[in-house]
Amino acid sequence: MRVRRIVPTIYSKNLKVKGNISIPTEDVSSKPTGPNPMPKVTDLRYWDFKLLRRYQPFYMPICDMCCLCTFGKCDLSKGKKGACGIDMKLQQARLVLLACCIGTACHAAHCRHLVDALIEKLGRDYPIDLGNSIEVEAPIIRTVVGIRVKTLGDLEKVLKYCEEQLTHLLSATHTGQEGDVLDFESKALHAGMLDDVVREVGDIAQIVGYGMPKGEIETPLVDLGINCIDRSKPVILCIGHNVIPSTYIIDYLEEKGLEEEIEVCGICCTALDATRYSKNAKIVGPLSRQLMFIRSGVADVIVVDEQCIRLDILEEARRTGAVVIATNDKMCLGLEDLSHLSEDEIISRILREGAGLILEESKVGKVAVELARIVFRSRREMKERCLPALEEIRALANRCTECGWCNRVCPNSFPVMESIVEAKEGRFEKLADLYKRCYSCGRCESECERNLPIVSMITKAGELYHTLEFKVRVGKGPIQDVEIRKVGAPIVFGEIPGVVAFAGCTNYPNGEEELALMAKELLERKYIVVAAGCASMSIGMWKDSDGKTLYEKYPGEFQAGGLINAGPCLSNCHVSGAAIKIANIFAKLPLEGNFAQVADYILNRVGAVGVAWGAMSQKAVAIATGFNRWGIPVIVGPHGIKYRRLYLSDGEDFEVYDRKLKKVIRIDPTPEHLITAAENFKECLCTIPKLCMRPNDGSRGRSMKVYHYVTLYEKYFNCMPPDLEKFIRTERDIPFMLKDKILKYLEEKGWEPRKEMPQEPTLLY
Amino acid sequence: MLGRNIPYQPTAGTNLHHAEVISTKIAVSMVKRSRRPLLVIGEYGGEAVRYLEDLNIEKIYTPRDMNLLSIIKMITREDYDLVMFIGITYYYLNQALTHLKHFSDTITLTLDGKYIPNAHYSFPNMEEGEHIEAIKRFRMLLDNL
Ligand code: SF4
Ligand code: SF4
Ligand code: SF4
């Protein structure tokens, strides 16, 4: 085996290292060694500007106007300026920053809530112990904040820093503040980075505080899917992202020995976290299944916490006879806070009024469970009748005027009307097919001139025609240091073709299955696939011909061909965390205060890419922007361009400084973009291997990446990738199996091998 | 039923400036006057696309030949004066077009049977059969030039 020398440049007063180095991580001082511990808004601007010059912001305004202050509305189209002097590009950059601030604030507040609650329960000195397999306990916090967190109290300090920074960032969006596009973008990148930090804070807090998996390699498989929920029992449904109320429910059930009698299930990240907390919890599915499942009437009690919950939840629940418990100060729904009452009093109030707010979460356990038992008795008969029977669907369908507006308002232009028209004749296959692709947003039925309950009709057909019983692996949390040690070298030299992180929500153009099919294709090709949030559930919602989900077929280890569910949205931090750990454990780069060095390392060497195929929320744009600042490219789906901004290079050669050659050289444009979009599943899949390429790939690694790029393109587009020549640096990059074909292609393109290959590429010069 | 110049997805507009609806005849004369036209063809154009495939105009098939956003970025660098689009996911194209609408002088024309507000010029909403006829006519008139 060829031995490569790793020659990182280390930003430290005390260390000047060149050549093969081995610095045990324990020796690294816990004092910040890098230049930027706790970076302020402008401290990493130098790094951002380097990224943004290469990957220029590409704007797609969603509105011609600005309406953010009363000078307006201002028309910013056709080069016009607003009354404050802002122009269209600047306004887009400002809105992206605003979206990132909203997303980051959402995670920050969620994590603040978790940390405060756990400190109250366990004390400020409660140790952060992630077990023997994890020494680099919080790679993001170490790098950004420059400290090593040892107790829950330390996490508070980290949050304080982030909250302060976030205030500055949000203030920059005020009228008459920041006046430069790149500065706005640098601030958005700062917000994205903070988002990564707070997610790491929150996930670590809940892992240690609630005994969730600490990076175990094979976490258990749990039930996923609407039909996994036992309708013959009282059912408590938890929706949202904050696990605290669910923990009280699970504790109460265990305390009373009611686990067998009552079903606890969840939708969205709360569900993922509940299964990390207890093996008795079940997952209904991701966000896309929210309205469908509520409509199905299976739930007796619906407990909502925070984020991505349907705002008409009270109205929807009332229609099914379920009761609602709101539990979070971010979502009070106009309900009276009943916390001051005893649990029994709260139960009778909610029974009378159908809903209540309980901010004192410790009371939610008993209230939810006892309510479920009572409500279940009264609505047992009703449960089966919440959705229309097939005959009723047919009768409803016959009221349709075939106006076609449902198709037009469907965000994906699905053939809703055609499915309804078929149902008029008693054929329900099209409705059932729609079930798999529809994300139950309900826009079609709000438009319907006949008020047809289209979502309920789709749901019924789907539940009857599909099995809807799947499996997902419990969220593992951080990647263990030993896993990183094993894969560090093959990733950095490109011999593992890439790490692909599926993140984000369920705003898919064509249903969940496509995500699973992408993952399958990559797993077969020995990519490392990591998923978090709704994406991790979606990947489980498809079965192969052998009746198994991907989680049952592929190992849960961070290795070539491994499929990892990291956990909820918060757990996306373990993706950037893994990339940082590669820099630290494998290349011995010190982390503390060393953001730009670490990000530069990742950008040039770690072939990781994020895929946010259904990104919808402001949190998702913050997550993606956080990945970007670390040098991890992201692909969004076709709806993702409504975030208004991508970071695209012009696809020509890049310039880097080569520390070994001691000069600026031109290199292949890898990774080509920092955030881009794909129109459909095929395009996304073919873009992944390209964005996994890095300047530092060895020839063997690059040839493997080229192999996947070419063979995927041939499989899905029936031709060679039209820009292949850009990514073949010398003949040694050509995979042996495809040599003749590629050489012929290169000849037609007039390709010439590069004279220089980067040895130690860096943007920091 | 279709409301010929209401965006096919009614929320696709951007408030002030929406595409002008044009007929096949005007579309043909635009192509005729164009110094350097480009036709971008997506995967979802159905039968209509068949009538455009051997047209003697520079063509790019997306996403196969190039990502749509890369095409749009490239258009701002090159000197095309007319770019036509057909067969691309409705909301995706409509959103991507805002880049050209605001940050370039290139004229954009969409040939789908759905009104796309963020182009400069668009065909109106049409039923499928009507659209195919329109494209056939477009083709025929171009051939007769
Ligand atoms: S913030 Fe500026 S552009 Fe927006 S409405 Fe006010 S003056 Fe007009
Ligand atoms: S509920 Fe489904 S079919 Fe209806 S508009 Fe939303 S995505 Fe389309
Ligand atoms: S909107 Fe309602 S009435 Fe119109 S086609 Fe759709 S289902 Fe029928």
Asked whether residue A641 is assigned to any structural domain, the reply reads no
Q: Residue with the nearest Cα to atom 1 of ligand 3?
A: A448
Domain that holds residue A455: 226-468
- Could you tell me which residues are beta bridge partners of residue B108? B83
Domain contains B73: yes
8 A C-beta contact, residue B99 and residue A59: yes
Name the residue facing B67 among A64, A409, A683 (closest C-beta): A683
Kindly state the average pLDDT of the residues A203-207. Answer: 98
Q: Do residues A337 and A284 share a domain?
A: yes
Task: Check pLDDT > 50 for residue A18.
Answer: no
By the CB < 8 Å criterion, does A209 face chain B? no
Q: What pLDDT digit, counting tens, does each position of A669-717 carry?
A: 999 999 999 999 999 999 999 999 999 999 999 999 999 999 999 999 9
What are the tens digits of pLDDT across the range A649-658?
999 999 999 9
Query: Does residue A3 carry a pLDDT above 60?
Result: no
Across chain B, the runs of DSSP E, i.e. the strands, are: 20-21, 37-41, 58-61, 82-86, 107-110, 121-122
Q: Are residues A257 and A166 in the same domain?
A: no
- Work out the number of other CB atoms within 10 angstroms of the CB of residue A280: 17
Binned at pLDDT 50, 70 and 90, residue A76 comes out as very high
Asked if residues B69 and A648 have their Cβ atoms less than 8 Å apart, the reply is yes
Split at pLDDT 50, 70, 90, the class of B14 is confident
Least Cα separation, residue A658 to chain B (angstroms): 28
| CB atoms A648 and B70 under 8 Å | yes
Alpha-carbon gap: B111 to the closest alpha carbon of chain A (Å): 18
A134 and A57 in one domain? yes
Question: Span B13-37, mean pLDDT?
Answer: 94
* Residues of A in Cβ contact (< 8 Å) with B91: 411, 413, 638-639
A312 and A364 assigned to the same domain? yes
- Check if B62 contacts A (Cβ < 8 Å): yes
Mutation test residue for ligand 2: of A446, A454, A459, A510, the one with most atoms within 8 Å of CB = A454
Backbone φ and ψ of A529, nearest 5°? -115, 125
CATH number of the domain bearing residue A392: 3.40.50.2030
The tokens for B96 are: 């991507």
Measured in Å, residue A390 CA sits from the centre of ligand 3 at 18
Show residues of chain A in contact with B92, CB under 8 Å. 638-639, 641, 677, 679
Q: Which residues line ligand 2 (CB under 6 A)?
A: A 410-412, 414, 416, 438-444, 454-455
Per the CB < 8 Å rule, is B69 touching A89?
Answer: no
Whether residue B74 lies inside any domain: the answer is yes
pLDDT tens across A383-435, in order?
A: 889 999 999 999 999 999 999 999 999 999 999 999 999 999 999 999 999 99
Q: For the domain that residue A173 is a member of, what is the CATH number?
A: 1.20.1270.30
Nearest CA distance, A78 vs chain B (angstrom): 6
A94 close to ligand 1 (CB < 6 Angstrom): no
pLDDT for position B145? 61
Domain region containing B104 = 18-143
Domain identity same for A400 and A436:
yes
Overall number of domains in chain B: 1
Q: Residue B67: its chain A contacts at CB < 8 A?
A: 676-679, 683, 687
Inside any domain, residue B104 = yes
- Residues A12 and A14: their CA atoms lie apart, in Å, by 5
Note whether residue A513 is domain-resident. no
Residue range A77-93: mean pLDDT, rounded: 97
Please check whether residue A693 lies inside any domain of the structure: no
Min Cα separation A733/chain B (Å): 22
Q: What was the pLDDT predicted at A30?
A: 57
Q: Are residues A286 and A365 in the same domain?
A: yes
Q: Please tell me the least confidently modeled range out of A133-147, A217-231, A411-425, A484-498.
A: A484-498
For B101, nearest residue in chain A (alpha carbons): A78
Residues A316 and A198 in one domain: no
Compute, in angstroms, the gap from residue A454 CA to the centroid of ligand 3. Answer: 9
For residue A9, the model assigns a pLDDT of 37
**The domain boundary residue, chosen from A444, A468, A492:** A468
Alpha carbons within 13 A on the beta-carbon side of A136: 34
Q: Which residue's CA lies nearest to atom 4 of ligand 3?
A: A403
Cα A172 to Cα A96, A191, A480, A627, A644: the distances in Å are 12, 12, 38, 22, 19
In a domain? residue B13 = no
Classify residue B120: in a domain, yes or no.
yes
Q: How many domains does chain A have?
A: 2
A273 and A191 in one domain?
no
Cα A417 to ligand 3 centroid, rounded to whole Å = 6
The ipTM of this complex is 0.97
pLDDT in the model for residue B15: 84
Rounded to an integer, what is the distance from CA A115 to the centroid of its chain?
Answer: 21
Measured between alpha carbons, how far is residue A417 from residues A12, A388, A458, A464 in Å?
65, 18, 12, 20
Q: Which of residues 73-112 of B touch A (CB under 8 A)?
A: 73, 77, 88-92, 95-96, 98-99, 101-103
Please give the pLDDT value at position A493.
Answer: 81
Chain A closest CA to B9's CA: distance in Å?
5
Of A167, A185, A210, the residue that ends a domain is A210
Is there a single domain that holds both residue A110 and residue A180? Answer: yes
Q: Are residues A178 and A288 located together in one domain of the fold?
A: no
Pair (A274, A235) in one structural domain:
yes
Instruction: Kindly state whether residue A742 falls inside one of the protein's structural domains.
Output: no
Q: What is the pLDDT of residues A482-525, one digit of tens each?
A: 999 999 889 988 789 999 999 999 999 999 999 999 999 999 99
Residue B7 lies inside a defined structural domain of this protein = no
A411–B77 CB contact, under 8 Å: no
Mean pLDDT along residues A156-164? 98
Residue A131 in domain: yes
A315: left (phi over 0), alpha (psi -120 to 50) or beta: alpha
Q: Please say which residue of A441, A468, A495 terminates a domain.
A: A468
Residue nearest to atom 2 of ligand 1 (CA): A84
Q: Does residue B4 sit within a domain?
A: no
Same domain, yes or no, for A169 and A201? Answer: yes
CB contact under 8 A, A63 and B63: no
Rounded to the nearest whole angstrom, what is the distance from the C-alpha of residue A132 to the centroid of ligand 3? 60
Q: Is B6 inside any structural domain?
A: no
User: 């105009």: which residue's tokens?
Assistant: B57
The pLDDT tens digits of the residues spanning A336-376 come to 999 999 999 999 999 999 999 999 999 999 999 999 999 99
Residue A24 lies in a domain: no
Tell whether the model's pLDDT for residue A569 goes beyond 90: yes
CATH number of the domain residue B81 falls in: 3.40.50.1220
**In a domain? residue A81:** yes
Question: Residue A737 has what DSSP assignment?
Answer: G
How far is residue A187's CA from residue B105's CA, in Å, rounded to a whole number?
A: 30
